[in-house]
Amino acid sequence: MAEQISTKKQKEKKVPKAKDEKEMSFWDHLSELRGTFIRSLFAIVIFSIVAFLNKDFVFNELILSPKSPDFFTNRILCALGQKVNIDYFCVQDLALQIININMSGQFMTHMYISFMVGLVVSVPYIIYEFWKFIAPALHENERKGSSIFILICSLLFIIGILFAYYLIVPITLNFFGSYQVSETIKNQISLDSYISTIITVTLSIGIVFELPILIYFLAKIGLVSIETLKKNRKYTLVIVLIIAAIVTPPDVFSQILVTIPLMILYEVSIWMAKYAKKRDERMG
């Protein structure tokens, strides 16, 4: 009997809990959560103010830059296109004219973009605040696992955002900005439409890049298996092509640029599903 109790205690020690073992009441937890929200909101406000005060950089260097012929991606695509005698990817200066049609449009856009920049920049800190809130309730191994999970999620989202901003957004702007049903109709894009296009494309690709995380959890709870993922590669390719057609202009080159990374992500998802299975087998 004494040996069984000793063995039980040793097993419990293998998975130690967080250092803070103090029991907290419901109101204590609510107070902690309130502090988390306040600090997160404060971070958003601070970064939004910084973005608001740096209007020229935010708009000229970030928001309006992808439509310029001097943008990094546009210069590379133009050079590559000229080597194969395709001028389609050479962005022409002033081909995309942006206009404001509302009296307070530019000011409200300035406020909106400042808030969005503040929100995006604050995301790592917000994630840290909420992780700090739930960490005391986790065991030591769970805390390590959640830290890795948060890091991978953040990296995938950031990679997706950068991929969209530097590649998909310039191609999208060039295609829709230069497309004409008649030479008598000139493209004058409203500021709201331009901003909406950039945000929609960027966030959509960023979310799509979270595919490996989704597959990992589906595999972990048993909704998908490694064999199913491997067997359905061809169907996945069709779905990916449909997604690429939705989030990109209707030209083959743009769709290929999105399809290849998404299929790579799918292969990464299969690897993560294998990892989830092996991890469960070790722990089970």
Domains of the chain, residue spans: 27-209, 210-284
Q: What is the mean pLDDT of the segment spanning 238-255?
A: 74
Model-level pTM? 0.75
10 versus 84: which is more confidently predicted? 84
Burial of residue 133 (CB within 10 Å: 0-12, 13-18, 19+) is middle
Most confident of 82-86, 112-116, 202-206, 249-253: 112-116
- Taking CA 68 as the corner, what is the angle to CA 259 and CA 170, rounded to the nearest 5 degrees? 10
262 versus 198: which is more confidently predicted? 198
Most confident of 43-57, 150-164, 258-272: 43-57
Query: What is the model's pLDDT at position 93?
Result: 52
Q: What is the mean pLDDT of the segment spanning 265-280?
A: 78
Rounded Cα distance between 208 and 168, Å, is: 13
Query: What is the model's pLDDT at position 21?
Result: 44
Does the pLDDT of residue 31 top 80, yes or no?
yes
Most confident of 8-17, 49-58, 167-176: 49-58
Q: For the chain, where are the E strands, in sequence order? A: 97-99, 188-190
Rounded Cα distance between 166 and 185, Å, is: 29
Residues in the chain: 284
CA distances from 199 to 15, 120, 149, 168, 194 (A): 43, 11, 25, 12, 9
Rounded Cα distance between 246 and 259, Å, is: 12
Which of 177-193 are b and which e, b meaning 16 or more Cβ less than 10 Å from the residue's Cβ? beeeeeeeeeeebebbe
| Tokens standing for residue 35 | 């502090």
Q: Which of 166, 163, 205 is nearest to 71 (CA)?
A: 166
Tens-place pLDDT, residues 217-232: 777 777 777 788 888 8
Chain mean position to CA 185: 36
